[in-house]
């Protein structure tokens, strides 16, 4: 980095003056994950340069470190849905009150979260205009217009956009923000069977986003009647779990809307026999919340830990000049190493800044979650090797230069796998099967992810919510897993004592 030279005449100095090394500002994390999870999280997202706080509560700047992860997930998901015949579109951000209110039933509970534009300049608008919190009401009038006959079906659209929900409870970067990015898919079919099938196909893509990219285990399942999207027929979701807080978190949802919206918006079609049909609809979304779940699950006391598949920098190469070592040769070795890795398709970066010490750089790149660092010093140069240090477990491995590219490739894959396995082990260790109310309460207080036999009655879920209400929130159902353990006949509901119909996950949640 070039520094401004001073014109001020100075005493002649000794010729071999050491370069200025920036004052070693305390780089590390001030708060430990175990000590105060909430503060730890805020510190990680800011120090890793993913988030900058903004002067409107609940709104955050997503810096390149965050957006690059979003783009990676998008680069996976977008072609997958295109293979399914879904096309991208873009609908306006604004919606009139008239249209928004069209489906009163479902909007009712959400109304307090809708943000409105009421002025342009200093004058009041004739009619206030809402900012989309989701786009059913924006899109479906046009579905009604565009769908006439069975040949117009299926209609399958997706949009990548922002939405605004004026939340009042505890804003958290990525997890609960007043504006966020998502994709929302909206599809219409002639038959329920087609809709049912798509719900699950999309849910599988969401599982892959979490498990294959973010290295986070999720549970696929169906939401209870109380927790489903009120406007729809049924809701499926992928559910993740944060062991440190003992909370479940909905990772993404895929809804079958049935014909509720078709009725409200009169989305009808003429079938192949000339009869009248009403479409079956789905909607589905995942959001930037995915990134928050990743931070919470993998991050540690040194900062962010990125799964290699979503890391914009997978490997950082750092020269470690020592005393009178040949810095030029070391630098050259670092440069060619980074070049080779990049040429082999990995994402490598080089940190040759001279105003920071190697130790400072180690902390800096650890904080940013970079999966691997390569150190090259005089001894490595002599032995024609490099030292590889893993971010996930701190392991240090000396590798001959000749094998470096292959080895790095291998280790990156093993880090991706290891992060998933560790996360799964921790998640699984939190799962507790209970049969009685007392076991349920004990597990809840122990921050467990509870699997319980349930009678599947709405009143019982409401009752559980009421009985568990505490400062940290009430317990609720997360989902009934598709993968159901055996339910021996005679098994009773943990909460009501009535015959159990299914196994359901319960817990506090985000
Ligand atoms: C907030 C304000 C107004 C959630 C809201 O999940 C309306 C809503 O309809 C609202 N918060 N919802 C439910 C969204 C349902 C559905 N929309 C399309 C999805 C997936 C994508």
Band (pLDDT 50/70/90 cuts) for residue 497 is very high
Report how far ligand 1's centroid is from the alpha carbon of 479 (Å).
Answer: 18
- The percent of residues above 70 in pLDDT, for the chain, comes to 95
In sequence order, the 6+-apart residues with CB closer than 8 A to the CB of 120 are none
Is ligand 1 within 6 A of the CB of residue 107? Answer: yes
If we measure between CA atoms, which residue out of 267, 228, 223 comes closest to residue 102? 267
Please give the Cα distance from 101 to 422 (Å, whole number). 46
Asked if the model's pLDDT at residue 15 lies above 80, the reply is no
Asked if pLDDT for residue 67 goes beyond 80, the answer is yes
Contact 330, 319 (CB under 8 A): yes
156 CB-near residues (< 8 Å, 6+ apart): 84, 85, 86, 87, 185, 187, 188, 198
Residue 487 Cβ inside 6 Å of ligand 1? The answer reads no
| Ligand 1 atom at minimum distance from 235 CA | 6
Task: Kindly report, residue by residue over 251-300, the tens digit of the pLDDT.
Answer: 999 999 999 999 999 999 999 999 999 999 999 999 999 999 999 999 99
Return the structure tokens found at 167: 């939340």
pLDDT at 3: 38
The 10s digit of each residue's pLDDT in 80-92 is 999 999 999 999 9
- Residue ranges with strand state E in 333-448: 348-350, 372-376, 385-390, 396-400, 431-433
Residue 492, pLDDT above cutoff 70: yes
Query: Is the beta carbon of 261 within 6 A of some atom in ligand 1?
Result: no
What confidence score (pLDDT) does residue 221 get? 98
Q: Does the beta carbon of 380 lie inside 6 Å of ligand 1?
A: no
Residues 6+ apart with CB under 8 A from 469: none
Whether residue 4 has pLDDT greater than 80: no
Residue nearest to ligand 1 atom 13, measured at CA: 229
Q: Whose CA is nearest to atom 17 of ligand 1?
A: 134
How do strand 385-390 and strand 502-509 relate by DSSP bridges? Answer: unpaired
Q: What is the mean pLDDT of residues 398-410?
A: 98
325 has pLDDT over 90: no
Could you say which DSSP state residue 402 is in?
Answer: G
Work out the average pLDDT over 48-67.
98
Ligand 1 pocket member 286 (CB < 6 A): no
Q: Rounded mean pLDDT of the chain?
A: 94
Q: Is the pLDDT of residue 11 over 60?
A: no
Protein residue closest via CA to atom 15 of ligand 1: 229
Q: For residue 394, is pLDDT > 80?
A: yes
Contacts (Cβ under 8 Å, ≥6 apart) of 271: 150, 190, 277
Nearest CA to ligand 1 atom 3: 110
Tell me if 260 sits within 8 A of 233, measured CB to CB.
yes
In sequence order, the 6+-apart residues with CB closer than 8 A to the CB of 110 are: 133, 165
Q: Is the dihedral of CA 366, 370, 371, 372 positive or negative?
A: negative
Is 259 exposed, middle or buried (CB count within 10 Å of its CB: 0-12, 13-18, 19+)? middle
Q: What is the pLDDT confidence band of residue 323, given thresholds at 50, 70 and 90?
A: confident
Mean per-residue pLDDT, 144-159: 98
| 114 in contact with ligand 1, CB cutoff 6 A | yes
Other CB atoms within 10 Å distance of the CB of residue 2 = 4
pLDDT of residue 50: 98
| Confidence check: pLDDT of 506 > 50 | yes
**Rounded distance from Cα 320 to ligand 1 centre (Å):** 52
Residue 70's φ and ψ, nearest 5 degrees, are -55, -45
| Mean pLDDT, residues 387-409 | 98
Nearest to 505 by CA among 235, 253, 240, 200: 240
> Where is pLDDT greater, at 423 or 18?
423
- Please give the Cα distance from 15 to 88 (Å, whole number): 64
Q: Give the mean pLDDT of 403-415.
A: 98
Q: Which atom of ligand 1 is nearest to the CA of 182?
A: 21
Ligand 1 pocket member 113 (CB < 6 A): yes
Q: What is the pLDDT of residue 5?
A: 40
Q: Measured from the CB, is residue 134 less than 6 Å from ligand 1?
A: yes
One-letter-per-residue 3-state SS of 96-158: EHHHHHHHHHHHHHHHHHCCEEEEECCEEEEEEEEECCCCHHHHHHHHHHHCCEHHHCCEEEE
């Amino acid at each position: 980095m070039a520094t401004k030279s001073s014109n001020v005449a100075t005493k002649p100095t000794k010729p071999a003056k050491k370069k200025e090394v920036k004052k070693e500002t305390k780089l590390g994390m001030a708060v430990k994950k175990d000590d105060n999870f909430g503060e730890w999280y805020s510190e990680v997202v800011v120090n890793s340069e993913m988030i900058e706080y903004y002067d409107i509560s609940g709104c955050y700047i997503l810096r390149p470190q965050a957006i690059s992860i979003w783009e990676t997930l998008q680069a996976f998901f977008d072609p997958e849905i295109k293979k399914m015949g879904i096309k991208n579109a873009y609908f306006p951000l604004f919606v009139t009150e008239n249209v928004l209110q069209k489906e009163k039933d479902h909007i009712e509970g959400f109304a307090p979260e809708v943000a409105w534009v009421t002025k342009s300049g200093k004058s009041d608008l004739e009619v206030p205009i809402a900012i989309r919190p989701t786009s059913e009401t924006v899109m479906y009038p046009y579905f009604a217009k565009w769908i006439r006959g069975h040949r117009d079906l299926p209609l399958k659209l997706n949009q990548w956009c922002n939405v605004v929900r004026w939340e009042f409870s505890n804003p958290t970067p990525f997890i609960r923000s007043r504006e966020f990015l998502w994709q929302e898919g909206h599809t219409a079919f002639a038959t329920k069977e087609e809709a049912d099938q798509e719900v699950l196909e999309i849910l599988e893509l969401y599982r892959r986003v979490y498990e294959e990219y973010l290295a986070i285990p999720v549970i696929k399942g169906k939401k209870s009647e109380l927790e489903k999207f009120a406007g729809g027929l049924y809701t499926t979701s992928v559910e993740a779990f944060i062991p440190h807080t003992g909370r479940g978190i909905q990772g993404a949802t895929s809804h079958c809307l049935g014909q509720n919206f078709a009725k409200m918006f009169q989305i009808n079609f003429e079938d192949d026999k000339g009869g009248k049909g009403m479409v079956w609809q789905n909607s589905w979304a995942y959001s930037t919340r995915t990134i928050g779940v990743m931070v919470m699950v993998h991050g540690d006391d040194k900062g962010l830990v990125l799964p290699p598949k979503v890391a914009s920098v997978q490997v950082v190469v750092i020269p470690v000049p020592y005393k009178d070592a040949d810095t030029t040769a070391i630098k050259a070795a670092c440069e060619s190493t980074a070049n080779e890795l990049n040429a082999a398709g990995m994402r490598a970066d080089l940190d040759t800044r001279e105003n920071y010490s190697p130790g400072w750089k180690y902390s800096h790149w650890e904080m940013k979650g970079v999966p691997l660092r390569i150190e090259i010093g005089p001894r490595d140069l002599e032995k024609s090797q490099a030292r590889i240090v893993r971010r996930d477990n701190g392991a240090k491995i000396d590798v001959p230069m000749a094998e470096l590219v292959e080895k790095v490739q291998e280790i990156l894959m093993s880090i991706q796998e290891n992060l998933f396995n560790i996360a799964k082990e921790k998640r699984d260790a939190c799962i507790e099967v209970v049969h009685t109310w007392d076991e349920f309460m004990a597990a809840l207080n122990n921050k467990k992810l509870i699997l319980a036999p349930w009678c599947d009655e709405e009143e019982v879920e409401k009752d559980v919510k009421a009985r568990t209400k505490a400062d940290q929130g009430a317990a609720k159902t997360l989902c009934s897993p598709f993968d159901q353990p055996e339910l021996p006949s005679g098994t009773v509901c943990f909460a009501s004592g009535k015959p159990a119909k299914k196994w359901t996950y319960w817990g506090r949640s985000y």
